[in-house]
Chain A
Amino acid sequence: MCSTKVKICGITRLADAELAVSLGAWSIGMVFYRGSPRRCPLVEAGRISAALRRRVQLTGVFVNAPLEEIVSTADQLQLSIVQLHGDEGPAFCSEIARRTGAKVSKAIQVADGGDIREIERFHVDYHLLDAGGRQERRGARADVGHGAMAENGGRALRGGTGETFDWSLLESRRSQVPLVLSGGLTPENVCQAIALVHPFAVDAASGVEAAPGIKDPQRMRAFFAAVSGSGSTAPSALGAPSGLDTAPGCGPATARLARSNAPAVAAVEHHYGPYGGQFVPETLMPALIELEQAWVQARGDHGFEAELQQLLRRYVGRPTPLYRASRLSQRLRRSIYLKREDLNHTGSHKLNNALGQALLAKRMGKSRIIAETGAGQHGVATATACALLDLECVVYMGEEDVRRQQPNVQRMRLLGARVQEVTTGARTLKEATSEAIRDWVSTVAHTHYVIGSAVGPAPYPAIVRELQSVIGAEAREQILQAEGRLPRRVIACVGGGSNALGIFSAFLDDGEVELIGVEAGGEGIDTPRHGAPLTVGGRPGILHGARSAVMQDEEGQILEAHSISAGLDYPGTGPQHAHLRDTGRARYFAVTDAEAVDAFKLLTRLEGIIPALESAHALAWALEQRGGELDLICLSGRGDKDLAEVLRLG
């Protein structure tokens, strides 16, 4: 049962606090902002804390207060929650969490949907959404916690007009951070608010007052009664998921994953459970540190974000369509939606990442770009970005892949890139990656290595995932629009795992959505000729700078992979996938070369869409499933590059 918690804010007297707690308040809030009529004197706050801190979450509300003041107040009163109601940024919030050890609730006054997205940048314990728009915020802040008070002086609040914000804006909210709904809540309107928004908690101050700072016992009782009577409404797609009825009750892994939806603000994660890390020569370490700093700065810079968004729209062609494959759906007797990454400029999802990283490189003042490529799609994407941004470009590609992906080799050369054939080992993606890293070891001062998948040493897996997360963000919105519900399964092929993480990232918090990664089964996972380290399992290993699932022998020699699809022909995979597998959040399967080719042909004939052989793996897995009523498949790329290979096989 999902019972909504109650926070009573603007408490200034021990008696009111005791009543709130006896009625079952989850938290009581004391305002320490000097400009507020509900400011709680410190002496009284001390008494409240001494009497009640073991029975209720004590929240201290601050507005643009100095760090030291917050820290000392939190210490003195042993606050469990620090609510930041001013213009504090994400870094400040993290610092408060670190210094006080308290949970942090970031409050924002909602004027429009932009504010809902804005608060997603804050990786804190609670998001508090309050009424009161931009204009009020710029003007003098007469009160906090209850923005409408600024205008209405508290009079009209009980009538329920104009003081709440437009709750339907929360439809676009995606964050998993528990939501505290605030602003003009009263015993009269709180039921409706809970039914619509399903917040983790509701926050009332003026709505239960007799006068500013003085609570009305009648209204308090009425408020609690209204909240407890509203428990039976069906869960909606808004707000907190059902079942989340304790404080941010997700384990550390889910908490981390929840963060992955939003752009990086503070440091970028280096580990995913036991996976990830930075296993590279010392020569590269300073470059990785520099890259991480540049990335964090870029993400915080609206100019960078705007430039990337604009290029994604006008140059890449985003948003890509979500297409209901009608004949395929008919055949499988369930709805199959394809996220059409094949319709991106250059024909795959790879450009989302390559463009973002090339912009970043430019920002870092690097004049030369290197990349590895398997199928050639990442090579083409990188060469394209470099042509656009006027950067020198060298692409490492195994000799075998040069043979089987000829059209892409020619495209790269036309785009002005140098294609460096790699002749060591199996002459495929693993060797190309190793050579790219060796190049980088020698040229790191002026060169940026644009890694093509969610692999490699930190911060690469996080950077690539975040640049690809646009796939999932769009797809989730699109499918909700089209179907009014979430898919039963999200299915993507996994080489290094960037298109899969890109589409998974938006659904990680939707527990009811199954996430399926499909690896290269090659000639079968009972043979050594495959590229399915996640499916096969075994000891983790270190490849190309990160610990993850890796195909290796007992002594730790990396084995050669095999797949008909050059982009999946890789013995390793992204570290976050290994963690998603271990935690059970995603499941991984393998599909053989033959099955992938069949799926390739089937989609071509049924829908007039020639998929990349990589994407055909995801499709092939879906073809084998019975039941399930709504599948979303990431069609990561188009198959023109594979024609020769497929025709050769007859």
Chain B
Amino acid sequence: MPYLMAGFPSLRESIEIGLACVEAGADVIELGVPYSDPLADGPVIHQAATTALAAGISLAGALEVAGTLAQRIPVVLMCYANMVFAPGLDAFLDRLARTQASGLIVPDLPLEEAAPVRRACRRAGIALVPLLAPTSTPARMAQIGQVAEGFLYAVSVVGTTGERSALAERFEQIVAGAKASSSVPVAVGFGIATPEHAVQAASAGADGVIVGTRLVRAAAESKEPAQAVGALVGAMAAALADGA
């Protein structure tokens, strides 16, 4: 499950990157909405958001990307809480539903604040995907697992998004805990950067892996972002197919 930032490096290129991911064998695309204050993101994704914002891409642009990609692949929007609430919950979700997107991830919306969003998502036919962290207590894991829709996003590290050279020590435990807490599929994200990580995650029992920073960095560094990202996604898909 590749993550890409809508509008980065440009609106057109972010659509091309998404399509390249489809060709390379991605199953779901997680689409980041550029936000001014992304508290859960490390420097690479933060910088990509800043660049997109500077180019005038905000929610409208992100929804345009979502609408285009959703014709080819399930799209899950990753959007910070203030932007979800700003136009009013129902108005926001109505706009999102019209793009044919499948789900919504709000990284700064814990269980305590999620209920109204979850209800509005249900009304709009959008799955609200919750996050689960390595710091979550077993009781919280169970509660989060219970309300998960679409899939459960298991954050694999105590930290913001970013590449890590190795997966966290308690990684297997986290995946196992997530699996045990929910009947929906579990996707692991934050820190997954290589095909080896992906295979490791899959063999720990994850149903999906989310790769973000590595791909955003490739998009930032390459002259041919779509190709570069497509190649990385292809390598991971292949490794996962072999490993399976």
| A contact residues vs B (CB 8 Å cutoff) | 270, 277-287, 424-425, 430, 434, 437-438, 441-445, 539, 541-545, 547, 550, 552-559
Across the interface, do B37 and A281 meet the contact criterion of CB distance under 8 Å?
no
B136 at the interface (CB under 8 A from A): yes
Q: Would you give the shortest CB distance from B48 to chain A, in whole angstroms?
A: 12
- Chain B residues with CB below 8 A from A541, complex form: 82, 85-86
Interface presence of B109 (CB below 8 A): yes
Which secondary structure dominates chain B's binding surface?
A: loop
Query: Known pairs A281-B155, A557-B58. 8 more at Cβ < 8 A?
Result: A279-B108, A281-B110, A283-B159, A285-B136, A542-B82, A542-B108, A554-B87, A555-B60
Is A437 in contact with B144, judged by CB distance below 8 angstroms? no
Q: Which of B116-148 contact A (CB under 8 A)?
A: 130-137, 140, 144
Partner of B108, one of A280, A539, A550, A552: A280
Contact between A557 and B83 (Cβ–Cβ < 8 Å)?
yes
- A442 and B50: CB pair below 8 A? no
**Residue from the list B42, B110, B144 in contact with A438, Cβ < 8 A:** B42
Cβ contact within 8 Å between B58 and A555: yes
Task: Tell yes or no: B67 within 8 A of A by CB.
Answer: no
Q: Which B148-193 residues sit within 8 Å CB-CB of chain A?
A: 155, 158-160
* Chain B residues in 8 Å Cβ range of A441: 39-40, 158-160
Please judge, given known A-B contacts A424-B50, A430-B37, whether A438 and B108 are in contact too, CB under 8 Å: no
Asked whether A555 lies within 8 Å of B37 as measured between CB atoms, the reply is no
Task: Give which listed residue, B53, B82, B132, contacts A282 with CB less than 8 A.
Answer: B132
Considering the complex, give the chain A residue whose CB is closest to the CB of B155: A283
Q: Given A425-B36, A434-B39, A442-B159, are A281 and B131 also a contact pair (CB < 8 Å)?
A: yes
Chain B residues with a Cβ under 8 A of chain A: 35-37, 39-42, 46, 50, 53, 58-60, 80-87, 107-113, 130-137, 140, 144, 155, 158-160
Q: What's the least CB distance linking A392 to chain B, in Å?
A: 18
Are B158 and A543 in contact (CB-based, < 8 A)? no
Residues of A within 8 A of B111 (CB): 282, 285
Contacts of A278 in B (CB 8 A): 110, 112-113
**A434 / chain B contacts, CB cutoff of 8 Å:** 37, 39
Contacts of A542 in B (CB 8 A): 81-82, 85, 108
When the two chains form their complex, are residues B133 and A282 in contact, meaning their CB atoms are under 8 A apart? yes
User: Residues of B contacting A539 with CB < 8 Å?
Assistant: 86
What is the CA–CA distance of A452 and B37 in the complex, to the nearest angstrom? Answer: 19
Instruction: Give A442 to B46 CA distance when docked, in angstroms.
Output: 16
- Listed by A's residue number, 18 A-B pairs whose Cβ atoms lie within 8 Å are A278-B110, A278-B112, A279-B108, A279-B110, A281-B133, A282-B110, A282-B135, A285-B135, A424-B46, A434-B37, A441-B159, A445-B158, A539-B86, A550-B82, A555-B59, A556-B80, A556-B87, A557-B83
| Complex CA distance for A541 and B50, rounded to whole angstroms | 20
- Taking a contact as CB atoms closer than 8 A, the residue among A280, A424, A550, A557 that contacts B110 in the complex is A280
- Alpha-carbon gap, A554 to B86, bound state (A): 7
A216 CA to B42 CA in the complex, in Å? 78
Selected from B42, B59, B109, B135, the residue in CB contact (under 8 A) with A283 is: B135
**In the bound complex, what is the Cα–Cα distance between A445 and B50 (angstroms)?**
29
Q: Which chain A residue has the least Cβ–Cβ distance from B39? A: A437
9 closest A-B pairs by CB: A556-B86, A442-B159, A556-B83, A283-B133, A542-B82, A282-B133, A556-B82, A557-B36, A555-B59
Question: Are A555 and B87 in contact, CB atoms less than 8 angstroms apart?
Answer: yes
* Residue pair B86, A282 in contact (C-beta under 8 Å): no
